[in-house]
Chains A and B, each alone.
Chain A
Amino acid sequence: MSEHAIEVILNGRPVRARVESRRTLGDFLRRDAGQTGTHLACEHGVCGACTVIVDGEAVRSCLMLAVQADGRKVTTVEGLEASDGSLHRVQQAMQDAYALQCGYCTPGVVMTLAAALEANPKPTEPDLMEALSGHLCRCTGYQGMMKVAKRLAGGGE
């Protein structure tokens, strides 16, 4: 099995590591980079919990190899808050709407919504609902997430 030296720009800082070819990006983030905010659940691309932002796009980190992230910018939930510690507006909206229960799926949901707002600062509610359809919440806490979609639609806080 081949091993590869990679450098990932993780939340603005370069992280170098030597990874097995079979290492997924999600496992790299948690085990090699020590950033455990990204949660792995199904590990086969169904649940959306492990969603991170790679070069501006929300992707499932269990469906990408760590070696494929070499040279790319990866943002995880650890990288969202501002330098003064204030929450990203998606995080704030999630808190305000009580849009989390056990919290396992939450980092993925937050990253999907953050990527959607980055791509389009004034998304419609259906745009955000469509983006959210890629996430499973086994607490079935969808009502709160739908409130967040409503609040963030059109660029609202």
Chain B
Amino acid sequence: MKPPPFDYFAAHDLEEALEPLAEGGGDALVLAGGQTLLPLLAYRLAAPTLLVDINGVAALQGISRVGDGVRIGAMTRQATILRDPIIAAQTPGLAMAARFVGHTQTRARGTLGGSLSFAEPAAEFPATALALGARMEVRSRDGARTLEADEFFLGPYTTAMAPDEIMTSVTFPDWGPDARVVVHEVARRSGDFALVGLVMASRVEAGKVVRTAISWFGMGPTPLRSLQAEQAMTGQAVSDLDFAALAELAVADTDPPDDIQASAHYRRTVARRIFPRLARQTLEAVG
């Protein structure tokens, strides 16, 4: 379990980091928190010629309020997300998701941008970004572009980012002060990737659902929205909702894996059970 040989370069600013990625032709990899990349190196599933360490790049840090939400530097540690007061006030769903990410010892180094860029299908942050409509800002030597969450996750461990791009920040838009977001997952051990996970965000006005987003993790090759169930709920009175029927509709939009961790049947069964509970938590307490 020793990493293969590679060169290492600690970048001091973004330009210094982007240059070798542009020249590296995909053989250079970015080292963010390293909590996934180092295991991949230990297993020799990754064999980069160069690691570009971006831990010293100040431009990738920082959490601030922006026009329509909160902008979070891509190198923000998962531990910081758990305790940051701006995140707690503006986008508490993200902090709720962070509780399920790894352990104290990995959250001290693991980052938001690293987790989103890795795009593990059973991870918490990608599904949270998808539900809340996060925008990822990425940069290469040629310039910056912004990617919406619903066009970002293309497959397992595959995103719309090019190999020469670095994620610089993530913006979580405001859902309004009365919005409620709940994140829950079922895993065998604390800190494991989810067998089934669900992020649900809702806004209710005068007893009616005005907006909702449902995003599953561990239930397909990417985090998955349940658009049919969202449509069926939007505009309806909370008191008229049939949560069991909605759960059926929501689960119909998933494509869970059948693997050594759990069967697809088990995952669907768990998903049907947790959906009504989360739906009630986001909808009934506000109304």
Contacts and interface: CB of A to CB of B under 8 A. Distances in A.
Interface of A: 1-2, 4, 20-22, 24, 27, 42-46, 48, 51, 57-60, 62-65, 67-68, 112, 116, 130-131, 133-134
Given A45-B39, A63-B34, A68 B55 contact: yes
A63 B39 contact: yes
Given A24-B38, A44-B42, A64-B38, A59 B7 contact: no
The 6 closest A-B pairs by CB, nearest first: A134-B103, A21-B8, A43-B1, A1-B5, A44-B39, A133-B190
B108 A58 contact: yes
Contact of A24 (B3, B8, B104, B190): B3
A82 to B, nearest CB: 25
A1 B104 contact: no
Contacts of B6: 1, 21-22
A67 B105 contact: no
B35 interface: yes
Interface string B253-283: 0000000000000000000000000000000
B248 to A, nearest CB: 34
Interface string B31-59: 10011001101110000000101010000
A152 B38 CA distance: 33
Majority secondary structure, A binding face: mixed
Contacts of B39: 44-46, 63
B95 to A, nearest CB: 15
A52 B224 CA distance: 37
A63 B114 CA distance: 14
Contacts of A22: 2-6, 41
B79 interface: yes
Given A22-B3, A43-B1, A44-B1, A112 B104 contact: yes
B34 A64 contact: yes
A60 B1 contact: no
Interface string B130-170: 00000000000000000000000000000000000000000
B32 to A, nearest CB: 12
Given A24-B3, A44-B38, A45-B38, 15 more contacts: A2-B7, A22-B2, A22-B4, A22-B41, A48-B105, A51-B105, A57-B79, A60-B105, A62-B1, A62-B38, A65-B8, A67-B8, A68-B34, A68-B53, A130-B104
Interface string B78-114: 0100000000000000000000001111101100000
A44 B37 CA distance: 10
Contacts of A51: 105
A24 B41 CA distance: 11
Given A20-B5, A133-B190, A57 B38 contact: no
